[in-house]
A and B are shown apart, each in its own frame.
Chain A
Amino acid sequence: AQKVTQAQTEISVVEKEDVTLDCVYETRDTTYYLFWYKQPPSGELVFLIRRNSFDEQNEISGRYSWNFQKSTSSFNFTITASQVVDSAVYFCALSGPSYQLTFGKGTKLSVIP
């Protein structure tokens, strides 16, 4: 069985602060993919990143960065210099051979101006 845990239910930061969203996963599959999605107040899930289980290289995209550590089964997401537009619910998700995504419960991020 697959499981994704996002222990932080809600986080509030002041604009321009850095924030890290935690994600811990469980799977018995040797090949799997990890994802992050953003769900703004409008409701539509927006794809942010995909990472496969064989690639532990960290990735940076603008203000976003991701830290994948297989040894601790974690795939954390950091937003640098947060902005009000970053306010949303962020979901970490896991996919195995069956293609279905298993999502965590999400972390609601509020960026206060």
Chain B
Amino acid sequence: DTGVSQDPRHKITKRGQNVTFRCDPISEHNRLYWYRQTLGQGPEFLTYFQNEAQLEKSRLLSDRFSAERPKGSFSTLEIQHTEQGDSAMYLCASSLAGLAAYNEQFFGPGTRLTVL
């Protein structure tokens, strides 16, 4: 499978615990994005990387959230001290930077987080 993969697919945790999600983009894609989707809503942008550089962060990304892409390949999203409001689907997407500035983003299956 050469699409975007995410791990785990589901995560249940207790309030206050830390969680980490992983995203593996399509191999030749140098841009990687994180979005959050709550029930009945469209995905909301969190942050994006070009190679290993984190170039933009949404105001939705509180200090409890941190994302990394250490070698410009896979990325991790960590949430510290989880709250019930963090319960959502966390989506990763990747795209290829090229002459067409706004290439389509291809999404992974998501990680569904439930905070009890």
Q: Show the binding face of A for B, using Cβ within 8 Å.
A: 4, 31-33, 35, 37, 42-47, 50, 52, 91, 93, 95, 97-106
Contacts and interface: CB of A to CB of B under 8 A. Distances in A.
B75 to A, nearest CB: 15
Bin the interface of chain B by size: 20 to 34
Contact of A35 (B91, B104, B108): B104
B67 interface: no
A43 B42 contact: no
Contacts of B106: 47
Interface string B6-40: 00000000000000000000000001010100001
A-B residue pairs, 6 tightest by C-beta: A103-B42, A45-B107, A33-B102, A100-B45, A95-B102, A44-B109
B102 A103 contact: no
A100 B33 contact: yes
A44 B102 contact: no
14 contacts: A4-B42, A31-B101, A43-B110, A50-B103, A50-B104, A97-B101, A99-B33, A99-B95, A99-B101, A100-B58, A101-B33, A101-B45, A105-B40, A106-B41
A52 B58 contact: no
